[in-house]
A and B are shown apart, each in its own frame.
Chain A
Amino acid sequence: MLRALKERLTIQGYRTMAYPDGPVVLPERFRGYPALTQDLLCNRDGVFCAETCPYDALGCSEEGLSFDLGKCLFCADCPAAACVGFSKDHRLAVSRREDLLVTSGGERRLAQPLTPDLRKLFGRSLKFREVSAGGCNACEADSNVLTTIGWDLGRFGIQFVASPRHADGLWVTGPVSENMREALLKTWEAIPSPKIVVACGACAINGGPFIDAPQVCNGIDSLLPVDLYIPGCPPHPATILDGLLRLQGRIG
C-alpha cells in the first residue's frame, strides 16, 4: 500500500492532461483536417485525382474538388497527395453526414451541441453502450483509452457502461458486419429513449477499408439516426473527445 503511494508520488505522478483547457499534443506526422489545393487541375498525368482514392473519398466536378472526411482513411501515402494535404488540426467530428463533405471554398461546420432538452439531460451525464460491429479493435481501443487517467473522460460526466439499459446512447465502431447487424439493432432497442448514436471511425460512418464489401453494411448511416460522426481510421482520442465536448456544448 505504502509502496503504491510512493510510486504514485515519485515516478508516476499526476498525469491527466490539460486539454481541453490547454492545448492537445499531437505528433508532427499526425494527419488531420485536409487542405484542398484548389488551384490544381483535377487531371493529373491523365488520371482524374478523384479516381485515385481507393475509398472514393475524393469527388471532382466543375465546381471543384470535394473531399469526404467520412470515407477518408488519412493514408500516409495518399495517392491524391497532389490535390490534398493533411493539416495537424484534430477537430474532425460533425453532427450531420453532409458536414463531412469538404469542398474548396465551402464552409466548415464542426459538431453542434445537442438540442437544449437533450443537453439538459446529457450535458453533465452521458453514458454510452459501445457495440463493435465488425470493428478491428483500433477504434475500440482509442475510444476506451479516453477512460484512462491521461484523458479522464469521467471528469466530463461521460462513461462507457456495461448495459444498454443504463445507457443514454449507442457508440458504434466497425462497418457493421452482417453477423452483428441484429445484435447491434437489438442493443439500440434496449436503450431507453431519448437516446443518441455516435458513429466512431471510418468503418462505422461508411464502411472504411471495407466499403462495399459483400459481408458488411457500409456503416450505420442507413440503419440508425446518427448524432455524431467521428472520422479517422481510427480517430485520434483527441478527435473523439473534441466531438463529445462539442456535443455536450462544453466547447464550441
Chain B
Amino acid sequence: MNNALCLISNAIPVACAEVPCNDQDTFLQTILEKTSHGWRISSYFGLLEGDDTALYCLLAAPLDGVLGVMKTICSTAEFPSIATQVPQAQLFEREIAEQYGIRFEGHPWFKPVRFVHSQVSGRDAWGRPDDQPIQVGVMDYYRVEGDEIHEVAVGPVHAGVIEPGHFRFQCHGEQVFHLEISLGYQHRGIERMLIGGPHPRTLRQMEAIAGDTSIGHGLAYCMALEALSRTRPPAAAHALRGIALELERLANHTGDLGAIAGDVGYLPTASFCGRIRGDFLNMSALICGSRFGRGLLQHGGTVFGVDQVMREELLKRLATARTELTSAIDLLWSTPSVMSRLEGTGFVSQEAAAEMGLVGPTARACDLKRDVRSDYPFGIYRMAQVPIVTAYHGDVCARSTVRWEECQKSLDFCVEQLRQLPSGPHAAEPGNVQGDKLVATLTEGWRGEICHVAMTGANGRFRQYKITDPSFHNWQGLAMALRNEQISDFPLCNKSFNLSYCGFDL
C-alpha cells in the first residue's frame, strides 16, 4: 500500500512518471484506507490519455504536511463509486462523470454538476445526446413525499446582489427537511481554456475564478508556475503576498460578519462592517491600485513593492480598522437578541464535517484543525505562523466567532509582517516551465483550502490544470446545516458559509 502513493509536498513538483499507476482496486482501497485515517481528498480528477481516462487523486495527510498523489486507468465508461463509504468523494465522482462520460456504479446521488457536455464525444454519463444543448438545472431532484410537505424552489436569480444558483427546499411548514443545491449557472469553462497554457490571459482569469479570492487563486497559480519553472520569489514578495492574502481574508470576514448581523436584523454592526470592509479593500488598493488585489501578483513575485511611507500608512490604517472593527463586532456578542439567533442555528456536527471533507473556517468551527497555512505551509507561512482558530459548536455562532478571531490573527500577522518587511527586490526573473511535471499548490483562501494541480506535457505546456475551490467541498455542508432549521434562517446560515458560485462552477 505504501507504494500506491507518491508522497509530495505543497508546491514541490514531481515528474509525471513518478506518479504511481495503480490497478483500480488498489487505487480505491488506498482512498478508503487513507480517508479512514483522517486523510482528505484534496483533488480527484480525470485526464484523457489516448482512448483511456486516467483518474488522478490527490490526498492530504492530517499531519506532517504530506500530500499523496496516485492514478489509475479507466478504459471503459464505468467505474466503481466509493461515495457511500467516502462521502467527500461524491462530488468529485460526479464531476469526473460529467467531464468524461464515466458512470460511477453505485453512486447514491448521481447528478450533473455544471450541466455541460462531456469532453468525450458520444459518451455522456446520463445518456444525453451530443447535438442538443443541455438544460441547466434540469435533473432529478430529491423529493420528500407527504400530505403536508411542500417544496420551495429559489433561483437561479436571487433577491440580493449575489451570484446565481438553484436551491430546492423540502419543507414541512417552516421546517426544512432537506435542501438540495444545484449550480452550474456561472460555468465559464476556465479549466478547458487552460489546456495548452499558460496563455497571456491566464493570470487575469485565475484572479477571476472567484473575484473575492483573487489573491488566493492567483497565488496558487503563481506558486504552480514558480514551482514548475524553479523560480524563487524574493523574501519581500513572500511577505507582500501574505499581507495581501490576509487583507483579502479580513475584508471578506468583516463583510460577512456585517451581513450576518444584517440577516438577524441588527443594523448597527451591519452598517459599520459594510464600511470597514471597504477600508480593508482600500488597503489592497493602496498596495496595487485594485481593491481586489488584481494585478499585484506575477510569476516570480509581485508587480508592486511597498516603501517606507506606504508601510507607515498601512500600519496606521490597520490600527484604526482594528479599533473600529472591534467596536462593531463586540456589539454582536453583547446583544442577547443577536446571540440567541446565532447560537444553535445551522448546526453541522464534527463527524458530518469530517465525512464531507469540509475546509476553512466552516471546518474549524466544528473543531477540525485544518488550515493550509499551518498544515502545508507555503511562502511566508513557512517562516511566520498564524495560529489556527477553532470552535466546537458547529453553528452560525461558532462560524462567526472563528471568523472574528481569524480577523484578529490576520491583523496581528499584517502588522508583524509590515514591521519587518524585507528590503530588496519584490520579483525574480521568471524561468521557463519544465515539461512532464506535476505540481500541487495549496493556499488557504478566506473560505478554506484552495488546491491547484498543474501537469505539463513534454513541451512545458499545461496538459491538465485542475482547480478546486473551497466551495467545492463546502456547499454540501450548507445543505446539511439547513436540516431541521426554519426556512427563514436560510439567509443567516448561507451568510455564515458565504460560498462561491463561480469558484464552484469554474
Among B161, B192, B335, which residue has its beta carbon within 8 angstroms of that of A160? B161
Cβ B208 vs Cβ A215 within 8 A: no
Cβ B204 vs Cβ A209 within 8 A: yes
Cβ A142 vs Cβ B291 within 8 A: yes
A143, CB-defined interface residue at 8 Å? yes
Q: Chain B contacts of A121 at CB under 8 A?
A: none
* A130: nearest chain-B partner, CB-CB: B161
B381, CB-defined interface residue at 8 Å? no
Roughly how many angstroms separate A147 CA and B161 CA in the complex, as a whole number? 11
B12, CB-defined interface residue at 8 Å? no
A198, CB-defined interface residue at 8 Å? no
Mark out the residues of chain B between 266 and 312 whose CB falls within 8 Å of any chain A CB in the assembled complex: 268, 271-272, 274-275, 277-278, 281-282, 285-292, 294-296, 298, 303-304
Roughly how many angstroms separate A7 CA and B276 CA in the complex, as a whole number? 14
Mark out the residues of chain A between 130 and 187 whose CB falls within 8 Å of any chain B CB in the assembled complex: 130-145, 147-150, 160, 162-164, 174-175, 177-180, 183, 187
B209, CB-defined interface residue at 8 Å? yes
Q: Chain B contacts of A30 at CB under 8 A?
A: 285, 289
Q: Chain B contacts of A160 at CB under 8 A?
A: 160-161
Cβ A15 vs Cβ B186 within 8 A: no
Q: Chain B contacts of A208 at CB under 8 A?
A: 208
B212, CB-defined interface residue at 8 Å? yes
Q: Chain B contacts of A142 at CB under 8 A?
A: 291
B73, CB-defined interface residue at 8 Å? no
* B310: nearest chain-A partner, CB-CB: A28
A192, CB-defined interface residue at 8 Å? no
Given contacts A76-B288, A209-B201, A209-B205, whether A177 and B186 have CB atoms under 8 Å apart is yes
Among A141, A147, A164, which residue has its beta carbon within 8 angstroms of that of B211? A141
Mark out the residues of chain A between 63 and 117 whose CB falls within 8 Å of any chain B CB in the assembled complex: 73-77, 79
A4, CB-defined interface residue at 8 Å? yes
Among A12, A15, A150, A215, which residue has its beta carbon within 8 angstroms of that of B327? A12
Cβ A213 vs Cβ B278 within 8 A: no
Roughly how many angstroms separate A111 CA and B398 CA in the complex, as a whole number? 47
A47, CB-defined interface residue at 8 Å? no
Mark out the residues of chain B between 328 and 347 whose CB falls within 8 Å of any chain A CB in the assembled complex: 328, 331, 334-335
Among B164, B184, B209, B296, which residue has its beta carbon within 8 angstroms of that of A132? B164
> Shortest Cβ distance from B168 into chain A, in angstroms?
16
Roughly how many angstroms separate A151 CA and B271 CA in the complex, as a whole number? 11
Roughly how many angstroms separate A150 CA and B281 CA in the complex, as a whole number? 13
B451, CB-defined interface residue at 8 Å? no
Among B161, B187, B282, B288, which residue has its beta carbon within 8 angstroms of that of A177? B187
Q: Chain B contacts of A233 at CB under 8 A?
A: 204, 208, 294
Sorting the interface of chain B by its residue count into under 10, 10 to 19, 20 to 34 or 35 or more gives 35 or more
B189, CB-defined interface residue at 8 Å? yes
B132, CB-defined interface residue at 8 Å? no
Given contacts A29-B289, A55-B201, whether A136 and B209 have CB atoms under 8 Å apart is yes
Q: Chain A contacts of B292 at CB under 8 A?
A: 138, 141, 234
Cβ A3 vs Cβ B331 within 8 A: yes
Among A27, A135, A143, which residue has its beta carbon within 8 angstroms of that of B289? A27
* A16: nearest chain-B partner, CB-CB: B275
Cβ A215 vs Cβ B187 within 8 A: yes
Cβ B303 vs Cβ A77 within 8 A: yes
A44, CB-defined interface residue at 8 Å? no
Among A73, A183, A215, which residue has its beta carbon within 8 angstroms of that of B116? A215
A54, CB-defined interface residue at 8 Å? yes
Cβ B187 vs Cβ A187 within 8 A: no
Roughly how many angstroms separate A163 CA and B158 CA in the complex, as a whole number? 9
* A4: nearest chain-B partner, CB-CB: B268
Mark out the residues of chain B between 205 and 250 whose CB falls within 8 Å of any chain A CB in the assembled complex: 205, 207-212, 214
Cβ B156 vs Cβ A180 within 8 A: yes
Roughly how many angstroms separate A213 CA and B328 CA in the complex, as a whole number? 43
Cβ B275 vs Cβ A187 within 8 A: no
Q: Chain B contacts of A183 at CB under 8 A?
A: 156-157, 164, 185
> Shortest Cβ distance from A184 into chain B, in angstroms?
8
Roughly how many angstroms separate A183 CA and B327 CA in the complex, as a whole number? 42
Roughly how many angstroms separate A177 CA and B186 CA in the complex, as a whole number? 6
Given contacts A76-B295, A215-B189, whether A137 and B271 have CB atoms under 8 Å apart is no
Given contacts A11-B324, A12-B328, A209-B204, whether A180 and B189 have CB atoms under 8 Å apart is no
Could you name 5 residue pairs across A and B whose Cβ atoms are closer than 8 Å?
Answer: A75-B295, A76-B304, A178-B133, A209-B207, A234-B291
Given contacts A54-B200, A140-B211, A177-B187, 14 further A-B contacts (CB under 8 A): A3-B334, A11-B327, A28-B286, A55-B204, A76-B304, A136-B210, A137-B212, A138-B292, A178-B133, A179-B114, A179-B505, A183-B185, A203-B208, A209-B201
